[in-house]
Every structure is written in structure tokens, then in C-alpha cells.
């Protein structure tokens, strides 16, 4: 039974950079907007972003929008949509200007310009940052403040369960559960999913606890498609520490859960990776050495760990002057773990970081379901391809968030037939225990996958899956993680090549057969994700 109902023109699910940008712009365009988020307003991934926003504003000699586009396409491994890349990057400067006008304070550099740093795969110093390495936190602060200043309704502690649709299949609202499991309904002709990624599929991730793939699962159940799900980007450098094993006074194991990021900007400003013998190993791997694209560095670290039997490699940042001031977040995390990066190399290892794929959208955030939109990490616009270029994600959230607001306003003018009946997907969904899912994905679907391991992981998830009706946030999240595990395993098993973040040990080379082929996932009539024999609408305007 529904405890309450409310009405809006646009319901935004998620309060990170994409969601709040869209909400603010839509409100400015005169729409009645409600923002719904399952946790606190700032509990999503945005606030944890460190490096910055990649953007070309024309004040760095030798850099250009074309160079940024070229770097993005090179990182994307042949799977990016060149049109989407060009459009989104070209709109970056205006999007950052609007964010600054909303109160975000970026670090100043010499001569009245913004300070710049560099990250992996970038051919120039073009990443603007805030608070040293606290860029996401500053953006989140500014956008949450702007949202509350504007008195936009912000419904925290409410998890989105399913989109409601009319007889035609168009969105007519959103079903939610509050923290006590009480159901509510927001009636609206437009729902924007801005729910972030699915890093919590893995035991160790840079993502917060909220990153459970809810938006992709909801979109698939509503009839939308997803693509590029096999491209899970592992960040090369998270702080490596050990936790005491429960019930033991001296046995330790690598710490799991959300792990502190050591931003790539640390390498951008001169730090280098060392193996257990203290040797640099990236110089032999790629011309950009420690600043190679992220997939290359993460895979090289993984190989080095396997070759040497070590649990971590080390990042030597001792040459960076003023490290504590330039990287206060990293410094604090290191100090909390008993490491002094000013005096000793930082132990690091890769961890799940970013979903390059997601719900298939056009360049304005429209999914294939009328009235359902997606923006930010949950979406697959074609910008990232097989491997996202560092710091392109906050940029994408800003640009596509704004574009969605325009799209929703424009789409309102399209008349819809009056309809009485409201449909929601079947409430019974596949549910597997989260620790089982995380163990299976960590063991078989990290950096280095093969057919046997992927099939075995699918079998394990399957064997532990039962149908159930989620009655609270944990249940909704577990259902999303179960569905995402099935979908990622299916896509990763289908792509018989190595490309970008998808590294197959049984198919170690790139195969041109797969060039420009994005694998599309949809649900079959039984609600199971299947890889469709088609490619995503690459190039859709």
C-alpha cells in the first residue's frame, strides 16, 4: 500500500554533480523539480572525486579542445562515439563557468588563471581542481548549497524502486521506499536517473556505499538498454592497507570496502611507481610511462604484482614539494594509515573505480523509454568508450546534466495521450547475497578475466539467487547488484578480446572484429539480462 503520493514535472534520482546540475537548470526553466536520494545529499560518488575537471578554457599555451578530444578518443580504445566526445568536450568551458557562478571555488594559479594539473592519458596540464585534491567535495558543496538556497525539495533517505509507466510505456512516476521501508509514489512525466555507478560489485573500490548500480537496474526493468557494462575501470592507485582479520590477534588481510584514492594528479605532478625492488616499471610499458592512460597503468600494476608476488606497488611522491598542502586529502588518508608520503613511498594497488558503460542515452540524456533520462556515471553517452579519460566524468555530469534539463523542458511539449492505468515492473526480482556477489566479481571479473572464470562466477551467483520482493534500501541495492553482476559477467564473457578496461587473459589482444561494437544488454521476458545481437546507437544525436 502506498503511504503517500506527490507530484512534480521532473523527479531527479541522485544528488551528485549530474543530478543537481539538471535539477537547478530545470528549476530555472520553470519546472517543478523534486530530488530524491537514498542517503544524505552528499553521500554519492561526486564528493570523493579528487583530481578535478578536465576542461580547455583557452589559457594553456599549446592546448586545445581538439587535443582534449583526441586524448579522450585515444583513451576510449576505439569505442567512443566521436560525435558525443566532440559535443560534450566543446561544452565544458561554459559548464564550468556556470558551476563557478553557482559558487564552486577552484584553485587559483599564476596570473589570475585557474591552476592546472595533469592526469593519465592527457597530453596537457588541463585539469582544474579545488581544495588541492578535494574537487568533488567542493563541487558537491556548491551544488547542495545552491539547491537548498533555491529551496528545491530534496527528499533524502528515499531509495528509488521502479519507474511507473503508462499504457504506452512512457514514464508516469517513480515508486520509492523510505528508510523505514514505507512506500511512496512521485507522479511525474519525467524521471532522471543520476545514481552513479556500481563499484560496490567489488570487494575493494574507491566508490562509496551508495554505488550499487540501482539506476541501471531500474532502467533495465523499465525497458531501457545498457551498454559497455564490461568496461569497469580500475583506478591504478588506491592506498593499500591491511585490516586485522576478525577473531584473530595477528592475522591480517588487504582492507576491503571503500578505499582511499591516491589521485592520479600525484603522478601528474611527478610521482613514479616502483616495484617491490624499488625499480620503475612503467617506463618500459608506455611512452607516457606513469602517466599512461589508466587502463594501461592498472593492468601493468596487476602484472607486476603477479610477477613479483607482492601485495602492492609503491608510489614515490617524495619529490613533490609541499605535498601536504597540494594533496591534503591523500596526505590525511596516508597519515591515518601510519604512512608519511613526504618521507616514504605510498603503498598502492588498483581497485574498482568507474563504470565506463551504463544506460544507453542520446547526447541529451534520453533513454529509449519516453520520459526516462540518465546522466553521469549511470549513463552511457559514448564519451568514455572502453576506458574513461581521467577527470572527464565531472565534466560529463556538468554538461549532460544541463542538457537533460533542456531535453525535459523540450519533451514536455510533445503531447501524450491521457491514460488511466499505471504499470510497474513485477515486484519480484532476483536476489543474491551481497558478499557472494562481491566475492564472485572480485575473483573473476577484475583486471584479467577468462571464459572459465566468468562462467564459474555466473554459476556461483546463479546458485545463490532466489526471487524476492525488496522491502527496504538494502533489498533494492542487493537486487541491483545481482542484476549488474549477471549483466557484467554476460557482457565480459561475450567480448572475446582485450580492449580498454576489459582485459581477457584468454584473448590478450585487441580484435578488430570488435572495433566500434558496443555490447547492448536488455532484460528478457523473465527479467534476466541478456546480451543483444546489436550495437548501441553509437552516433545518436
Convert residues 252-291 into a mask of x (bound to ligand SIN by CB under 6 A) and - (unbound).
-----------xxx--------------------------
Rounded Cα distance between 236 and 301, Å, is: 7
Q: Is the dihedral of CA 206, 210, 214, 215 positive or negative?
A: negative
Chain position whose Cβ is nearest to ligand SIN: 51
Distance, in Å, from the CA atom of 482 to the CA atom of 489, rounded to the nearest integer, reads: 11
Count of residues engaged in binding ligand SIN, rule: CB under 6 A:
11
Q: What is the nearest approach in angstroms of ligand SIN to the Cβ of residue 127?
A: 8
Phi-psi sector, 196: left (phi>0), alpha (psi -120 to 50), beta: left
Cell numbers linked to 364: 541529451
308 phi/psi in degrees, rounded to 5: -100, -15
Does the footprint of ligand SIN cover residue 361 (CB under 6 A)?
no
CB of 146 to ligand SIN, least distance (A): 23
Which residue, 37 or 329, is less far from ligand SIN as judged by CB? 329
Our CB check for ligand SIN shows the closer of 265 and 374 to be 265
Phi, psi (rounded to 5 degrees) for 179: -60, -20
CA atoms within 13 A on the CB side of 502: 34
Locate 493 and state its grid cell: 564473457
Compute φ and ψ for 268, nearest 5 degrees: -60, -30
Q: Does 210 bind ligand SIN (CB under 6 A)?
A: no
Residue 138, number of CB atoms within 10 A of its CB? 21
Measured on CA atoms in the order 533, 526, 202, 328, is the torsion positive or negative?
Answer: positive
Judged by CB under 6 A, the chain residues 67 through 126 that form the site for ligand SIN are: 119
Does position 140 interact with ligand SIN (CB under 6 A)? The reply is no
Pairing of strands 10-13, 257-258: unpaired
Q: Which is nearer to ligand SIN, 36 or 297 (CB)?
A: 297
Q: Residue 130 and residue 47: Cα distance in Å, rounded?
A: 12
Catalytic (active site) residue 449? no
Question: Shortest distance, CB of residue 69 to ligand SIN, whole angstroms?
Answer: 17
Cβ contacts of residue 474 below 8 Å, gap of 6+?
Answer: none
Q: Identify whether the C-beta of residue 177 lies closer than 8 Å to the C-beta of residue 167.
A: no
Decide: is 393 part of the binding site for ligand SIN (CB under 6 A): yes
- Could you say whether residue 51 binds ligand SIN (CB under 6 A)? yes
> Which one of the spans 64-72, 107-115, 245-253, 386-394 is the region binding ligand SIN (CB under 6 A)?
386-394
Closer residue to ligand SIN (CB): 172 or 391: 391
In the complex, least distance from residue 354 CB atom to ligand SIN, rounded to whole angstroms: 6
Among residues 116, 141, 294, 366, which one is catalytic? 294
- Angle at CA 135, nearest 5°, toward 132 and 138? 110
3-state secondary structure of 392: helix
**Using rule CB under 6 A, residue 390 touches ligand SIN:** yes
353 or 504: CB nearest ligand SIN: 353
**Using CB under 6 A, which of 15, 21, 46, 50 touches ligand SIN?**
50
Does residue 147 interact with ligand SIN by CB under 6 A?
A: no
Span near ligand SIN by CB under 6 A; candidates 44-52, 376-384, 457-465, 497-505: 44-52
Contact set with ligand SIN (CB under 6 A):
49-51, 119, 263-265, 354, 390-391, 393
Catalytic residues: 294
Amino acid at each position: 500500500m502506498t503511504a503517500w503520493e506527490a507530484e512534480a514535472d521532473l523527479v531527479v534520482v541522485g544528488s551528485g554533480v549530474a543530478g543537481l546540475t539538471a535539477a537547478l537548470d530545470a528549476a530555472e526553466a520553470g519546472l517543478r523539480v523534486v530530488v530524491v536520494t537514498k542517503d544524505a545529499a552528499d553521500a554519492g560518488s561526486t564528493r570523493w572525486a579528487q583530481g578535478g575537471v578536465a576542461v580547455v578554457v583557452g589559457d594553456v599555451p599549446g592546448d586545445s579542445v581538439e587535443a582534449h578530444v583526441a586524448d579522450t578518443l585515444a583513451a576510449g580504445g576505439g569505442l567512443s562515439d566521436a560525435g558525443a566526445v566532440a559535443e560534450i568536450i566543446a561544452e565544458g568551458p561554459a559548464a564550468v563557468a556556470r558551476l563557478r557562478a553557482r559558487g564552486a571555488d577552484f584553485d587559483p594559479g599564476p596570473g589570475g588563471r585557474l591552476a592546472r594539473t595533469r592526469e593519465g592519458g592527457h597530453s596537457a596540464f588541463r585539469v582544474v581542481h579545488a581544495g588541492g585534491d578535494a574537487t568533488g567535495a567542493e563541487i558537491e558543496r556548491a551544488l547542495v548549497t545552491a539547491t537548498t538556497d533555491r529551496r528545491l525539495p530534496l527528499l533524502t533517505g528515499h531509495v528509488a524502486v521502479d519507474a511507473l509507466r503508462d499504457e504506452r510505456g512512457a514514464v508516469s512516476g517513480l515508486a520509492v521506499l523510505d528508510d523505514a521501508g514505507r512506500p511512496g509514489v512521485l507522479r511525474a512525466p519525467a524521471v532522471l536517473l543520476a545514481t552513479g555507478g556500481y563499484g560496490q560489485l567489488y570487494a575493494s573500490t574507491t566508490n562509496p556505499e551508495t554505488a550499487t548500480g540501482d539506476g541501471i537496474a531500474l532502467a533495465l526493468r523499465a525497458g531501457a538498454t545498457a551498454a559497455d557494462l564490461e568496461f569497469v575501470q580500475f583506478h591504478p592507485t588506491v592506498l593499500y592497507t591491511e585490516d586485522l582479520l576478525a577473531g584473530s590477534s595477528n592475522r591480517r588481510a588487504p582492507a576491503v570496502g571503500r578505499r582511499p584514492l591516491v589521485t592520479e594528479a600525484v603522478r601528474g605532478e611527478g610521482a613514479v611507481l616502483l616495484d617491490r625492488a624499488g625499480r620503475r616499471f612503467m617506463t618500459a610499458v608506455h611512452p607516457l610511462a606513469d602517466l599512461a592512460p589508466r587502463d594501461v597503468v592498472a593492468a601493468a600494476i596487476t602484472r607486476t604484482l603477479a610477477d613479483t608476488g607482492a601485495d602492492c606497488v609503491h608510489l614515490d611522491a617524495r619529490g613533490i614539494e609541499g605535498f601536504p598542502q597540494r594533496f591534503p586529502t591523500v596526505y590525511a588518508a596516508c597519515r591515518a594509515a601510519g604512512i608519511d608520503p613526504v618521507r616514504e613511498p605510498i603503498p598502492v594497488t588498483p581497485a574498482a573505480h568507474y563504470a565506463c558503460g551504463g544506460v544507453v542515452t542520446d547526447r541529451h540524456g534520453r533513454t529509449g523509454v519516453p520520459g526516462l533520462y540518465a546522466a553521469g556515471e549511470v549513463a552511457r553517452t559514448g564519451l568514455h568508450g572502453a576506458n574513461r579519460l581521467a577527470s572527464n566524468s565531472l565534466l560529463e555530469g556538468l554538461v549532460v546534466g544541463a542538457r537533460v534539463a533542456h531535453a525535459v523542458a523540450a519533451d514536455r511539449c510533445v503531447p501524450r495521450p491521457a491514460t488511466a492505468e499505471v504499470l510497474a515492473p513485477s515486484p519480484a526480482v532476483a536476489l543474491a547475497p551481497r558478499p557472494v556477489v562481491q566475492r564472485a566479481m572480485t575473483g573473476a571479473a577484475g583486471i584479467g578475466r577468462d571464459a572459465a572464470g566468468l562462467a564459474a562466477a555466473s554459476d556461483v551467483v546463479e546458485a545463490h539467487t532466489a526471487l524476492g520482493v525488496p522491502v527496504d534500501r538494502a533489498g533494492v541495492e542487493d537486487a541491483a547488484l545481482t542484476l549488474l553482476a549477471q549483466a557484467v559477467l554476460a557482457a565480459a564473457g561475450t567480448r572475446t578480446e582485450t580492449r580498454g578496461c576489459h582485459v581477457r587473459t584468454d584473448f590478450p589482444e585487441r580484435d578488430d572484429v570488435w572495433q566500434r561494437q558496443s555490447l547492448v544488454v536488455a532484460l528478457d521476458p523473465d527479467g534476466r539480462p541478456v546480451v543483444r545481437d546489436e550495437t548501441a546507437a553509437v552516433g545518436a544525436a
